[in-house]
Chains A and B, each alone.
Chain A
Amino acid sequence: MTTAAFMILLAGTVGAYLLNRHAAEQIRNRGARLHSLAGFHGLYGALLVAVPTLVVVLVWLLVEGAVIDRLVMSGLPAAALDGLGAGERQLILSEITQLAGGRQFGQPQPWVLEAAARMVRLRLASDVLLVATVLALGGGMAVLAWRRVSPDFRARQQAERIVNGLMVFCSTIAIFTTVGIVASLVFETGRFLAMIPWTEFLLGTRWEPQMAIRADQIAAQGSFGVIPVFLGTMVITVVALVVAVPVGLFSAIYLNEFASPRTRRMVKPVLEILAGVPTVVYGFFAVLTIAPALREFGAATGLPIAPNTALAAGLVMGVMLIPFISSFTDDALTAVPRSLRDGALALGATRAETVMNVLFPAAIPGIVGGILLAVSRAVGETMIVVMAAGLIAKLTLNPLDSVTTVTVQIVTLLIGDTAFDSPKTLAAFALGMLLFVVTLAINVLALRIVRKYREIYD
């Protein structure tokens, strides 16, 4: 039935388009001058039918279930729900819903069967009502649009206004989602900070979030000092940048300035393939290739190398960031005007001197912007570190040691047996909030630098 409603909507839209366009063409054929082209009259009709009807259908589908559930529950015999908690009511409702869907378990009580039958009737009524509404509304709007067709009617402006509204609506979806995410983070973080003082969270040096969820459990008193976790993130980020920045920079400089066009055509796409490798695959690579190699190296040389090192995770993350940095550098170098290049070459500078003394300084703001964006990706990267980094938070700067990161902790805190009123779980939101603030700050800084750089040449 819902499909039928959508079909009617589609047909109505197309119909209104054709109807209005035909009406406008008729007017034109009689010799009157139309303000808008006939196509715009058609578009106006189509939009006038499609937009409000679609909104009604979507809202209807959203609230339909809840309304029917409430009607069914309120129609139950008064004695059936007496003294039942929220969970038990929920169970009864789901039993009714199952029955209404045709799945019967055991021998339900007669009043449950009756409720299920009522639910089926209500659903049918709702569907019929929906189709009727769509028909009435769509038809009404089509007639309204059709009656407006006249030589002077500004269909183009009206249609553009509706389209404009649609675009505004779509762009606000992204904004509201962001606002919602931030709001939920802030709310949960607030709850966390109500249990754990912020001084302990931000300045504490011990991260042991394992604590009793139920009163009868035996567990340590959790401690929530974020410093070792953040230190882990920083160690891995630094290792990643030590790999990615030089490799990315030099490969971009080589491809941009020294490579022949043929080499460039072949190498550049290969480099960009790196950007398309899923991070899970990078994670495999870190765990199955890099980490054992490091361990063997450690065994051979006597270096104390942990099985889950920050080095392995950082190295692989660095490889992941190479295309990021090289493509930013490439763009920045390409944006340097050719005249600067010629100017340096004409003074007798070699290609290397031209790159190092002239192009690089001119491109540096763009490159720095790229590196900062890479940093914020490294800080927020999850999959590689979940697979390759450790779980225990250690207060160390040694990349050969096992460390954990903010993202790894968020994942582990939210996996498994969780209760959303325990500091253990809420700590994940506080970590997320901290991560969000840090990456936001880095991104803002990066975008500011990139924008400042644009002003130089445009």
Chain B
Amino acid sequence: MNRAAAPVTPAVLATVKIQARGVQVFYGAAHALKDVSIDILDRTVTAFIGPSGCGKSTFLRCLNRMNDTIEIARVEGTILLDGQDIHDSGVDPVQLRARVGMVFQKPNPFPKSIYDNVAYGPRIHGLARNKAELDAVVERSLRRAALWNEVKDRLASPGTGLSGGQQQRLCIARAVATSPEVLLMDEPCSALDPIATAQVEELIDELRSQFSVVIVTHSMQQAARVSQKTAFFHLGHLVEYGDTEQIFTIPRDPRTESYISGKIG
């Protein structure tokens, strides 16, 4: 709890949240992810960068077993969340996904009211015992997503009626409402304008005090702005992983350097 109070240099103090060892992913015959091993820290923003099709989103989807929903996907290797193998037969993917939340590239609010969108997770997981508690969870989540002030007077109106940026923040609020331990974000700003992007980035920075955040991004500026750790993927390999500052200033691998300087990708 001390760490939450004083997250000065979280990368140094944080413990390992997710440990991946030798992760391979196949989509049918295609080998999408090759032997990835990585330690993702608690209360840290970790950015996955790399050119399109390099496997960063694929790896992200391994962390909450979303690849299970794709018929042809096959995942090998071990992924430990707090030391427990998430592919263990005793682990229910449904409960895993409650602990490891996800925000998608395109805002995908349900065709329900704003309130019901946020309350959906707490409801199905029984996180609130009564209406008052649920109200509190919804308000807290919307506040965390910096959306409360904009929607507090129209919680009953449909979530699909919000603007793109608001929808994405609604989706973040929805993911936050289940109190996950890890929040996975798959290019959360790619459909947003610069103002909404800035809001979401601010939010990510704030979420770090409670969650481990993993963000896939195409924007290297964004990775540099929001993350403490950066992983560079290329052609299914994890090429380099380290402190964000080090990756962007003195990359060790020549491929990382070419990508960052805009020569490949």
Stretch of A11-19, A238-246, A325-333, A335-343 contacting B (4+ beta carbons < 8 Å): A335-343
Cα A342 to Cα B101 with chains together (Å): 11
Check if A281 is an interface residue, CB within 8 A of chain B: no
Contacts of A341 in B (CB 8 A): 69
Check if A350 is an interface residue, CB within 8 A of chain B: yes
Cβ-defined partner of B121 (8 Å) among A342, A347, A350: A347
Cα A107 to Cα B120 with chains together (Å): 94
Cβ-defined partner of A357 (8 Å) among B94, B96, B120, B171: B120
Check if A196 is an interface residue, CB within 8 A of chain B: no
CB-nearest residue of chain B to A456: B111
Chain B nearest CB from A362 CB (Å) reads 5
Cα A340 to Cα B111 with chains together (Å): 9
Q: A342-B69, A342-B108, A362-B111 are in contact. Are A347 and B174 (CB under 8 A)?
A: yes
Contact assessment for A349 and B94 in the assembled complex, using a CB-CB cutoff below 8 Å: yes
Check if B144 is an interface residue, CB within 8 A of chain A: no
Check if A261 is an interface residue, CB within 8 A of chain B: yes
Cβ contacts B75-118/A at 8 Å (1 or 0 each): 00000000000000000001111110110101011111000000
Q: A348-B94, A348-B124 are in contact. Are A361 and B64 (CB under 8 A)?
A: no
Check if B193 is an interface residue, CB within 8 A of chain A: no
Q: How big is the B interface, by class? A: 20 to 34
Contact assessment for B71 and A261 in the assembled complex, using a CB-CB cutoff below 8 Å: yes
Cα A224 to Cα B216 with chains together (Å): 74
Contact assessment for B108 and A347 in the assembled complex, using a CB-CB cutoff below 8 Å: no
Contacts of A357 in B (CB 8 A): 110, 120, 124
Cβ-defined partner of B124 (8 Å) among A337, A343, A347, A361: A347
Cα A347 to Cα B123 with chains together (Å): 11
Cβ contacts A342-358/B at 8 Å (1 or 0 each): 11111111100100011
User: Count the A residues whose beta carbon is within 8 Å of the partner chain — how many?
Assistant: 21
CB-nearest residue of chain A to B105: A339
Contacts of A358 in B (CB 8 A): 110
Chain A nearest CB from B21 CB (Å) reads 24
Chain A nearest CB from B125 CB (Å) reads 6
Chain B nearest CB from A124 CB (Å) reads 73
Cβ-defined partner of B104 (8 Å) among A339, A348, A353: A339
Cα A260 to Cα B102 with chains together (Å): 25
Cα A456 to Cα B175 with chains together (Å): 23
Cβ-defined partner of A456 (8 Å) among B97, B121, B160: B160
Q: Identify which of residues 221-273 in chain A touch chain B, using a CB-to-CB cut-off of 8 Å.
A: 260-261
Residue with the greatest number of chain B CB neighbours at <10 A, chosen from A261, A343, A358: A343
CB-nearest residue of chain A to B102: A346
Check if B38 is an interface residue, CB within 8 A of chain A: no
Contact assessment for A347 and B178 in the assembled complex, using a CB-CB cutoff below 8 Å: yes
Q: A-side interface residues toward B, CB under 8 Å?
A: 260-261, 337, 339-350, 353, 357-358, 361-362, 456
The 3 A-B pairs at the shortest CB distance, nearest first, are namely A348-B98, A346-B102, A339-B108
Q: 9 additional contacts, CB 8 Å, given A348-B178, A350-B124, A361-B112?
A: A337-B108, A342-B102, A344-B120, A347-B98, A347-B124, A348-B99, A357-B120, A361-B111, A456-B160
